Amino acid sequence: MLEWQGQDWRQRPLSERRQALEKLLSPSSALRRAELAPLLLPGLGSDVDVSAETPAEQARHYQSLVSRNGDGAEHPNLAPENAAPPKLPALAISPTLKSNSWAELAAQRQQSRELGVEGLMLKRRDSRYQVGRKRGDWWKWKIDPLTIDAVLIYAQAGHGRRSNLYTDYTFALWHEGQLVPVAKAYSGLDNAEIARLDRWIRAHTLERFGPVRSVTAEQVFELAFEGVNRSTRHKSGIAVRFPRITRWRTDKRPEDADQLDTLARLA
């Protein structure tokens, strides 16, 4: 889903794209304010004979025939006081990238965050559209995640085999001298670290709120995540995407953790 921003078409953040698609048939104010256009990814779905068995290069050719390059009508939901964007195809086909070396591809990959995407999708020209995680034909070369150092403040017991261990954690950053919750994570630690942290949590519990324990603000962890968005649903005003633990920072004190403003600048 592309949106007209300033002087160019830009991809919207994932959370906004999901909201836009959910409200596509409703007269929401968010859609009235934005000029939207779909971007066609080569795969399935066109009036020509494109199936799961059609090689990617051939499917792309077929879809380029049905996309109207530059002949699309302007969308009616654009507010009249805004500058009108250029006409866009009813279905715009996603661009291909050409490169002569891995170094050139790596340089293009570094521009991903500026473009609002997660990285490069590499496909064999003769690959087929497949369901599930199939190796060898497509490779999602993602950019390195963003990271922060955050303080553990809450813990909750896990589920299934981990129901007797505290494995679901809430982390916070500093804001005006107070720790503000910013993310929950439950993956990234190995079994030995989970057991060690579980013992520490039980020994350093401050309060209990049903299945949740608040703990002394001592342990610092490095969290990785894919993106940051503004959020009115969270106390911090920030939501991070796919947070997970990457390191237990035993070398850091709680006061060494990051500031909320540092994270907010990434949104």
Q: What is the pLDDT of residues 6-27, one digit of tens each?
A: 555 566 665 566 665 565 555 5
Domain with CATH 2.40.50.140 in the chain: 146-264
Mean pLDDT, to the nearest integer, of 33-57?
Answer: 53
- Spatial distance between the Cα atoms of 217 and 140, rounded to a whole number of angstroms: 37
Average pLDDT taken over every residue of the chain: 78
Phi, psi of 20 (to 5 degrees): -65, -40
Q: Higher model confidence: residue 8 or residue 71?
A: 8
pLDDT at position 44: 44
* pLDDT tens digit sequence for 221-244: 999 999 888 888 888 989 999 999
Percent of the chain residues topping a pLDDT of 90: 43
pLDDT at position 71: 42
- Spatial distance between the Cα atoms of 148 and 145, rounded to a whole number of angstroms: 10
Joined together, the tokens standing for residue 144 give 């390195």
Domain spanning 146-264 has what CATH number?
Answer: 2.40.50.140
Phi, psi of 264 (to 5 degrees): -60, -30
For the question of whether the overall pTM of this predicted structure is more than 0.85, the answer is: no
pLDDT at position 111: 87
Joined together, the tokens standing for residue 56 give 């990617």
Percent of the chain residues topping a pLDDT of 70: 65
- Spatial distance between the Cα atoms of 91 and 106, rounded to a whole number of angstroms: 29
- Spatial distance between the Cα atoms of 172 and 104, rounded to a whole number of angstroms: 38
pLDDT at position 188: 96
- Spatial distance between the Cα atoms of 260 and 264, rounded to a whole number of angstroms: 6
Split at pLDDT 50, 70, 90, the class of 165 is very high
Q: What is the 3-state secondary structure (H, E, C) of the chain?
A: CEEEECCEEEECCHHHHHHHHHCCCCCCHHHHHCCEECEECCCCCCCCCCCCCCCHHHHHHHHHHHCCCCCCCCCCCCCCCCCCCCCCCCCEECCCCCCCCHHHHHHHHCCHHHHCCCEEEEECCCCCCCCCCCCCCEEEEECCCEEEEEEEEEEEECCHHHCCCEEEEEEEEEECCEEEEEEEECCCCCHHHHHHHHHHHHHCEEEEECCEEEECCCCEEEEEECEEEECCCCCCCEEEECCEEEEECCCCCHHHCCEHHHHHCCC
Mean pLDDT, to the nearest integer, of 239-267?
Answer: 95
Split at pLDDT 50, 70, 90, the class of 194 is very high
Q: Higher model confidence: residue 27 or residue 127?
A: 127
Q: Higher model confidence: residue 208 or residue 98?
A: 208
